[in-house]
Structure 1
Amino acid sequence: MTAIPAVQPTGAHRGRRAASRRSGRPEDAPRWERPALATVLVVATLLYGWGIGHAALHPFYGAAIRSMSGSWRAFFFGGLDSSGSITIDKLPGAFWPDAVSVWLFGPHTWAAALPQVVEGVLTVWLLHRIVRAWAGPFAALVAALTLTLTPVTVVLDRATIPDTALTLLLVAAAGALQKAVRTERLLPLITCGIWVGLAFQTKMLQAWLVLPVFAAVYQLAAPGTRLNRALRVLLAGAVALAVSCSWVLIAWVTPAASRPYLDGTSGNDPFALVFGYNGLSRFSSDATAFGAVAGTAASRTTGNTGWDMLINHTVGPQIAWFLPLAALAAVLGVVWRAGQPRTDLLRTGFLMWGGWLAVHTLVFSSSNGNHAYYTAVIAPALAALTGGGLALFRSEYESKYTAVPEAQHEPAQEAGGRRHMALPAAIVLTVAWALVLDWPTRFVSWLLPVAVMLALCGVVGLWTRGPRTSPRMVHGALAAGIAATLVVPAGWAVSSLNPLYAGAATSPMTGPVGKTYGAHHRHAPRGVGLDQPSARDTALLDYLTTHRHGEKYLLATQAAYTAEPLLRAKSEPVLVMGGFTGSTPFPTAQQLGGLVTAHQLRYALLTTQRPTTPATIWVKSHCTRIRPTAYGRRTDGSFALYDCNPQA
C-alpha cells in the first residue's frame, strides 16, 4: 500500500533511496524510523510494565487464573476453582496466556500480569506496521506514539482484564483485512476471519462489532467483481463464525457432568452465557434475557451510557483526547479522496478505522452501561486516524510549497485551495479539546500552559513558512505541534503509575475520577495479588486446613466475592455457590446436601453482601455457626462460617 506522499522526489530524495537500497532498508524507510520505533516500544514497555510485581489484579479473574494454572479441566473451561466446579462468567480465552504464565513462573502477581504487558506492546508494534503500510512511516510513528500514551491503554495493560487481548486480536484482524484489500489474495481475508474468531474467545460478541465494517470495506474497495467480493466476504464470515463458536460448541456437546457449571446461566447453557448474560442483557431491560441470571452492580455498571458517553468527565480523560482530530481525519480523508478509483487504498484506510470508531461509539452509547476501560478497544482506531490524518494534512500542507511555480519570481501556487490550513487547524483543535477534557478536574493543569506554548510555536512556525524557510524549522514546528497534542494525555497516562490514580482493580482508570477515587484518596489502596493473603485470610485458611479430614472441597462460599481472596492465596477446590453474582442456581440445595452427606464438603462461608438462595438457606438450617474467634476474627462482620459436619 502506498504511503501518503508529502513531496515530489528530488535528486536528494533519489540519492537517499539509493543509499537505502544499499543498506538493506526498505526504499522509503527514513533513517530515523527504526530508532524512533524502538524508543516508542521501550516507552510502552516501561509504562505498561511499571510496578508489575504489585499490579492490582482483577480479584475475580486473578482467582480464576491461579486455578486455571493448576488444572487442565479448569484451564480449558475457565474454572473458578481448581476442581472446575463452576466457570467464570466469561469465555476463558483471554486468560489462557495468563494461566500459562503462572504455570511457568509460579503464582506471582507479576507472572499473571506479564502477558497483558506483552499484549499491549505487541499491539503498539502491530499498529505501527499496519499504519506504515497504509499511510507511511510518519503516520505510523504518530499512531504508535498516540496509542502508547492513551491513558486507558496504559492503565489497562497491566491488569488481568480481557480487553487487552481483544484489542490485540482485532488490530491483527484489521491488518489482515488491509493486506487482503491490497493484494486481492484470499488467504489474508480468511486470516482476518480467524483473528476475529479468536477475539471472540476473549470478549465474545464485542469482537463481532468490526465485522460489518470489515465486510463493507472489502466489498467497497477490494479488487475483483462484485460477486467475487461478496462470495469471499461470506467465506471469511463463515470462518469467523466457526472459530468464534468453537469453544461454545465443545462446551455444548460435553455432558454437564463432565464439565463445570457455566456461570451466569440459569440452565447451564453455553449459548445463554454468550448471547444472554454477556449479550442481550447488556441492551435489554430484562436482566434475565435468553437464560441469563441477573447481573450485579459490579457486572452491570450504571452510567457511562448515552451519546455523551465518550466525552463525559470520567470516560473522556481515559480515551477521547484525539476524538475531534480522528473524526476530522476520517471525514476529510474520505472527502478529499472522492475522485480516486474505487480501490483507492488511502481512502480505504480512513473508511476502515473510521467505521471501527463509529460502530463502537454507537454500541457503547446505546448499551446499559459501560466500564471506562471498555473504550480501550477504540484506542487503535483513534491512534490510526490521528497518524493517518496528520500525514494527510502534512501532505496537503507541503503541496503548497512544492508545487512548480509558473515563473521563477512567483510564489508556489496552492495545490488544494485552503487544504494546507488543515494541519495547523488540527493542532489547535486538539490542544483546545485537551483543555476542555482536563478542565473539570484540572488534574494536570500545570501541563496546560506547556501544551499551549508548544501549540503556538508549532502553529506560528507552520503558518509563517516562506519559500526560503529552512526545512529544519518546518520540521521543528511540526514536532512542537505534535508534542502539544500529546503532552496532556501523557500526563494523565503517567499518573496511573501511582496506585492512587489507577482506579480500582475491578475498574482501572487514570486520574482523580470514578467512584473509587474518593475511597482511595482517603485510604491508600491495597493491591490485589497472587499468593499474598491478608492476616485474616491466612488465619481462616489455617483453620480450614487443620480441620480438613479428606473432604474434596476446602469449603463452600456464597458467591465468588467470598472465595476470591482464598483462591488467589491457595489453589484449593472451593465450591463457589451462586457464581460471580451469587444468583446462579448452582449448586442446588439437594446437591449441597449430597456433598455434605458424602463427606465431600464440611464448611460453608456465607455473606450478607449477596442474595439469599436455596443453598444458603440449607446451610443456615443444617449447619452450625462457628464463633469468629475460632478462626482468628474478633467479629463476623459481613461473613459467617458454618460447620456442616453431621457429627458436629
Structure 2
Amino acid sequence: MVTEAKSRWAPAVLLVGTGVLYIWGLGASGWANSFYSAAVQAGSQSWKAFFFGASDAAGAITVDKTPASLWPMVLSVRLFGLNSWAILVPQALMGVGSVAMVYASVRRSASAWAGLLAGAAMALTPVAVLMFRFNNPDALLVLLLTVAAYCVVRAQERGATRWLVLAGVAIGFAFLAKVLQAFLVLPGFALVYLVTAPVGFWRRVRQLLVAGAAMVVAAGWWLLAVALVPASQRPYIGGSQTNSVLELALGYNGLGRLNGEDYGGLGNLNQQAGWLRLFDTEAGGQIAWLLPAALVLPAAAMWLTRRAPRTDPVRAALWVWGSWLVVTGLIFSLMQGIFHAYYTVALAPAIAALVGLGAAVLWERGAHRVLAMVAAGTAVWSYVLLSRSSGWNPWLGVVVLVAGLGAALAMLFTRRMPAVAAVAVVACLAGPAAYAVDTAASPHTGAIPTAGPSTGAGSGRPSGGGSQRQGGGNLPPFAQGRSPGDGDGQGRSPGDGDSGAQGRGRGGRMGGGGMGGLLNAGTPSAELTALLKSGASGFTWAAATVGSNNAAGYQLATELPVMAVGGFNGTDPAPTLERFKQYVAEKKIHYFVGTGMGGAGRGTGGSDDAARIAAWVRETFTATTAGGTTVFDLTRS
C-alpha cells in the first residue's frame, strides 16, 4: 500500500503533521493546569523545589504526584522563561515522540503502511491531542510506556538483554511520572517475553530479573533520596496524611484509586464503574473510536497465526500491545476510586498499534471480509459517537456512515482493494480526526480537561461553540468550589468577600467565594497582585491560602512563593495549625487570602487543619479586601 520510495518520506510527513496538530495555537490554554504550572514556576526558581516537585519555591508542600513529569517543563522554563509555550511545548514534543515510537514498533513487526496507520491512529486520538497539549503527568507517562513497549518488541526478536533492561528503565522512570499506573503494563510485558523470547527458559528468567532490577533502580532512586532527607529539610509530601512517598504511591495514587477508600482524597466518586465505562458518554469520544477494531483485529490475527512458532515476532508484538490494552482497560473500567476520562490516553498507543498490526496481518493473509466487517462496524460506531454531540456538525456522522459502509461493501466485491481500503481508512479516522481538530482549536484549563465537543456528560465544550468549561461531574460540593454545609453554595470560607476573579477556558466550574477552588485557578486582580508583591522580600511566603489551585493563581501572577495550605484537596495536614501559628509568629507569611475551600477537610477522611487554620485567621486578624477578595495581613492582629 505504501511504496518503498514513499515510505522514506511518509514517516516524516506523519511526524511533522503531528507536531503541527499538537503545537498549533498552544498558547491559547494559558497556564493549562495551574496546579502543575505553579510547581513548574517554583522549580524554575529553586533546584530544591525542582527535585522534590514542590508547589512553591519555599518548599511548603509537593504536588500530589512524583515529580518527573515536571522536570522537562522546568528545564524549558529555565531556558525560555515562564510562559505558556515554555511549559506546554515539551508535552507536545513528547506526543510526537510517542507517535514515532508507535510507528517504529509496528513498522518493525509488520510493514511501513501498517506503521503509518498505527501512527496516524495514535496522533488523531482525541484524548491524545488533549493531553499532549496539556501539562498533566500523562504525557511523559505515555511516552515512556511506549518506549518500553518498543524495547520489549526489540528484545523479543533475538532475546536481547540490553533492550529488555531499557524497557525496565523506561517503566521505572514512568513510575516517577505517575506512580503505580506505570506498572499496569508490567505483568503482560514480562509474561510475553517469558513465553515467546527465542532463548532458553532460564536465560529468559535471568533476563527478566535483571530488567526488574533496572526498573527498581530507575523508580527507587528518588524514593530513597526522599527517605534519606529528614522531613524538616524537605517539603511535605502532598497527597499523603503521614508525609510519606510510599503512602502517596500506595494509597491516594494507588489502592485508593481502585477501591475509592483513599484518605484525604475525594472518596468513591465513580458509581458508574463497569465493563462498558470506556464506551460511555464520558470516555467514549475520548478514546473508544477504534477500540472495537483494536479488539477484533488482533483476535482475528492471532487466530490466523495460531500455527506460527512460539517465537513468532508478529504474534509476540500483538500480545505485547494486547496485554497493555486489556489489563489497563479493565483497571480503568472497574476502578471505584477517582477516575477521569483523560486517564484513557494511556490506552491510545496500544489501540493504535493493535489496529495497525491487526490490519497488516489480515491484509497480507487475504482476510478481506473480516477487514470489511471491521470497517463497517467502526463506521457505525463512529456514527454513534458523533451523534452524542448533538448539534455539532451533524452532517459528519452521515458522511462517515455512508463512506464506511460503502467502502466495506466494495471490499467484498471489487479487485481494486488498495483504493477501497484507503477510503475505508479515511472513513474510520474521520470521526476522531474531527474531534482532534476541535480539541486542538479549543483552549483547555483546569484539573479535568476533556477532548472534543460536549456529549452531555458534564464535560467538554457546549455544542455549537461558546465558552469553554469543565464539568464537576460527580465531585462533592467542596470540590465544585464550595464548602460542605454552605447554604448559599457560594463557597465562602469564614470572612470571605466576593471573589476578585474567576477561572476561564475549557476548565472549571468554581464557587463565587475565593479565587479558584479545587479544579482550577483564576487570575487575581491587579490590586490584589500589587498588594501581595508589596514588601514580599521580607517574607518566606508572600501569602498563604487553602488549596493548591487557589495558591497557584496567586503564585503565577506574582511569581512569589504562596503556601498551599492543605495541599491539592485542602485535606493534607500541612501545615498543622500549630506549625502555621509558628510561621506567623516568625513573620514568615505576609498575607492569608480568603478561599472557597475553608471546610474541605470534612467528610473525606483527611485532615481538618486547613479549616482550623482558616477559622483561626478569621478570629485573630482583621479582614480587608483587595480587588474584591478577602485578605488578612498576618503581621497585624
Q: TM above 0.5, one fold?
A: yes
SS in 1 for 2:388: coil
RMSD after superposition: 2.3
Go from structure 1 to structure 2 and tell me whether the alpha carbon gap of 1:366 and 1:329 turns closer, same or farther (over 3 Å shift). Answer: same
Aligned pair partner of 2:451 in 501, 504, 509:
509
Go from structure 1 to structure 2 and tell me whether the alpha carbon gap of 1:457 and 1:516 turns closer, same or farther (over 3 Å shift). Answer: closer
SS in 2 for 1:182: helix
Task: State whether structure 2 residue 5 is matched by structure 1 residue 31.
Answer: yes
In structure 2, give the amino acid aligned to 1:620: R
Task: State whether structure 2 residue 114 is matched by structure 1 residue 139.
Answer: yes
Aligned pair partner of 1:624 in 619, 622, 625:
622
Go from structure 1 to structure 2 and tell me whether the alpha carbon gap of 1:549 and 1:347 turns closer, same or farther (over 3 Å shift). Answer: closer
In structure 2, give the amino acid aligned to 1:485: C
Deviation at 1:584, TM superposition (A): 0.7
In structure 1, give the amino acid aligned to 2:179: M
Task: State whether structure 2 residue 49 is matched by structure 1 residue 106.
Answer: no
Normalised TM-score (structure 1): 0.84
Match in the other structure for 1:23: none
Normalised TM-score (structure 2): 0.86
| Distance in 2 separating the partners of 1:457 and 1:614 | 66
Deviation at 1:444, TM superposition (A): 3.9
SS in 2 for 1:339: coil
Deviation at 1:464, TM superposition (A): 2.1
Aligned pair partner of 2:356 in 356, 366, 387:
387
Task: State whether structure 2 residue 305 is matched by structure 1 residue 340.
Answer: no
TM alignment of 1:355-434, pairs within 5 A:
355-367=323-335, 368-397=337-366, 419-434=367-382
Match in the other structure for 1:226: 201
Deviation at 1:572, TM superposition (A): 1.1
TM alignment of 1:26-65, pairs within 5 A:
30-56=4-30, 57-65=32-40
Match in the other structure for 2:612: 614
Q: Quick check: 1:329–1:350 contact (8 Å CA) kept in 2?
A: no
Q: Quick check: 1:458–1:476 contact (8 Å CA) kept in 2?
A: no
- Identity across matched positions, percent: 33
Deviation at 1:199, TM superposition (A): 0.8
Deviation at 1:508, TM superposition (A): 3.0
Deviation at 1:515, TM superposition (A): 2.0
Q: Quick check: 1:146–1:383 contact (8 Å CA) kept in 2?
A: yes
Deviation at 1:188, TM superposition (A): 0.6
Aligned pair partner of 1:450 in 399, 412, 416:
399
SS in 2 for 1:454: helix
Greater relative CO (CA pairs within 8 A, separation 6+): 1
Deviation at 1:608, TM superposition (A): 3.4
| Distance in 2 separating the partners of 1:192 and 1:643 | 53
| Distance in 2 separating the partners of 1:33 and 1:585 | 57
In structure 1, give the amino acid aligned to 2:24: W
| Distance in 2 separating the partners of 1:623 and 1:393 | 73
Cα deviation, 1:554-599, whole Å, max 9, x if unaligned, reads 0111121321111122321222211111111111222212222222
Q: Which structure's CA Rg is the greater one?
A: 1
Deviation at 1:457, TM superposition (A): 4.5
Cα deviation, 1:621-647, whole Å, max 9, x if unaligned, reads 322222x1xx222xx4xxx3112225x
Query: Size of the alignment, in residue pairs?
Result: 575
Task: State whether structure 2 residue 224 is matched by structure 1 residue 276.
Answer: no
Q: Quick check: 1:503–1:510 contact (8 Å CA) kept in 2?
A: no
Deviation at 1:456, TM superposition (A): 4.4
SS in 2 for 1:322: helix
Go from structure 1 to structure 2 and tell me whether the alpha carbon gap of 1:428 and 1:278 turns closer, same or farther (over 3 Å shift). Answer: same
SS in 1 for 2:133: coil
SS in 1 for 2:45: coil
Q: Quick check: 1:140–1:387 contact (8 Å CA) kept in 2?
A: yes
| Structure 2: gaps (5+ residues) | 470-503, 508-520, 600-609
SS in 2 for 1:342: coil
Go from structure 1 to structure 2 and tell me whether the alpha carbon gap of 1:524 and 1:181 turns closer, same or farther (over 3 Å shift). Answer: closer
Match in the other structure for 1:602: 590
| Distance in 1 separating the partners of 2:585 and 2:633 | 13
Match in the other structure for 1:20: none
TM alignment of 1:217-366, pairs within 5 A:
217-288=192-263, 294-296=264-266, 302=270, 305-366=273-334
Deviation at 1:523, TM superposition (A): 4.1
| Distance in 2 separating the partners of 1:389 and 1:304 | 31
In structure 1, give the amino acid aligned to 2:320: M
| Distance in 2 separating the partners of 1:495 and 1:220 | 43
Deviation at 1:135, TM superposition (A): 1.2
Q: Quick check: 2:598–2:611 contact (8 Å CA) kept in 1?
A: no
| Distance in 2 separating the partners of 1:355 and 1:517 | 30
| Distance in 2 separating the partners of 1:516 and 1:342 | 46
Cα deviation, 1:116-174, whole Å, max 9, x if unaligned, reads 11000111111111110011112101001111111111121110011111111001001
| Distance in 2 separating the partners of 1:643 and 1:129 | 58
Deviation at 1:503, TM superposition (A): 7.6
| Structure 1: gaps (5+ residues) | 1-5, 7-27, 289-293, 398-418
Deviation at 1:337, TM superposition (A): 1.2
| Distance in 2 separating the partners of 1:539 and 1:306 | 49
Deviation at 1:524, TM superposition (A): 5.3
